[in-house]
Structure 1
């Protein structure tokens, strides 16, 4: 066996080991969701699926309003993702292809907000929600997250590399205005970048816990992550039930990731073939 083949084999084995290590927490969650809490404390630990999945799921539905919190989360995650994709890509197109007075300073301020910890904005953001009367509503979860600095930064970098200046200049010569240049020229080209941003935003909105916990004051009207936290009690926590709820919460993310990732790869390959 040549040295090149040995290096390739070692690389593949390392990648396989990394995949197995990354997937094990999800496998362990599924195993715990199908067994009882007593089985989790066995020595050696039980690493095979059990028969308790449906009973654990039934107890999740008994203890929390799972479907109501799921609906809230779907509304928030989908609305936030759509708004972020539109506003961030529109702002990024402006920064990437238009040189207006102060654009560098404005983009610098945007990057500064990106570097600040999100926790610093929780209190002033909550005060704003109180003043406009949005506390306890899903609007308080959607509107503040409708645009973010990371998405604008990511899409600006992507647009600068993917959308040729000559193409934008040709569209202007044909009489296309700003929005038509964005919608008809840039948007079809930047779909792989939007797919990544969509995955990133949806997962972030779906898994958000701190802000919904603060602003959703009615325990019966919360998002999924906050509802699942209600399954934890100070004493005698049923971990198998908690893991069953976590498994139910993960399932939609797997579907969304598979759909968006497939589109991301397909559009990227099309772009490579065109190039």
Structure 2
């Protein structure tokens, strides 16, 4: 019975995995082809020999390396700050009792209902008044306190951390940061890893906000720099666009592979606990 169930699972999962992997495979095919190969009929189904030629044209079209380093700087800095604040705040909301806690948490959740488009104009005006335009501060500061991240960490802490352990540590004279570091952080490791991957992907792929606040091409992040590859009237050098997209996708894959075990643990923690 078990072998039959495992066989059925493979029958379902293998085609599903192939379906989800195909867009990335097709991206590789287009990145290694010429424009005529992309639009040929029937289309090319296997990678071609033009990868390095397309990469050379990509580096000749935009300052890809500078944009890549800019994205690394912004994404890593914003992710570290956001994850740290979310983990600390979620731990406090879950484990500590203080006046107005539920009201404050409710207000925090209410901010998640505000559409991003509604906040663009007032946020832009605020950063104009602060003189922060054409700097990376608008890309880091607004998302430093993530309502979703705090909610994520609060739920994880409520399930993974025992309040009695916190009380015992406080009785022994441990301060807040020591309690969090030795009790909260180890228990929240899967949740922190999962949110880190999510937040890094969000920061890495952000396009609209950097496009609004960055005017200097030397400060462009990757999505904004890659947009320069689109020609006028909808014409583009598609192989160069695809190879740029491929190279921009690789860091996301590396981050996911690095945190994959913790992400899987975070995804299944609630099911195992239940």
Task: Report if TM-score (shorter chain) is over 0.5.
Answer: yes
Partner residue, 1:23: 21
Instruction: List per-residue Cα deviations over 1:211-261 (Å, max 9, x = no partner).
Output: 111111223421000100110112431101100000110111111111121
Tell me if structure 1 keeps the 8 A contact 2:210–2:221.
yes
Normalised by the length of structure 2, the TM-score is 0.93
Q: Which runs of 5+ in 2 are unaligned?
A: 269-274
Deviation at 1:268, TM superposition (A): 9.4
TM-score normalised by L of structure 1 = 0.92
State the alpha-carbon separation in 2 of the partners of residues 206 and 28 from structure 1.
22
Q: How far apart are the structure 2 equivalents of 1:58 and 1:262?
A: 36
After the TM superposition, list the runs of 4 or more consecutive aligned residues in structure 1 that deviate by more than 6 angstroms.
266-269
* Alignment deviations for residues 115-136 of structure 1 (CA, whole Å, 9 cap, x no partner): 2222222111111111111101
Larger mean Cα displacement after TM superposition, 115-124 or 75-84: 115-124
Trace 1:1-275 onto structure 2 (pairs within 5 A). 5-235=3-233, 236-264=235-263
SS in 2 for 1:128: helix
1:12, distance to aligned residue in structure 2 (A): 2.1
For 1:142 and 1:34, locate their aligned partners in 2 and report how far apart those are by CA, in whole Å: 35
Distance 1:40 1:58 in 2: 19
CA distance in 1, matches of 2:56, 2:184: 48
Question: Does the C-alpha gap of structure 1 residues 87 and 205 become closer, same or farther in structure 2, counting only changes over 3 Å?
Answer: same
Equivalent residue for 1:273?
A: none
Distance in 2 between the 1:228 and 1:209 partners? 10
Residue 155 (structure 1) shift: 0.4
- Give the CA RMSD over aligned residues: 2.2
The answer on whether the counterparts of 1:32 and 1:240 sit within 8 Å (CA) in structure 2 is yes
Which runs of 5 or more residues in structure 1 are unaligned?
Answer: 270-275
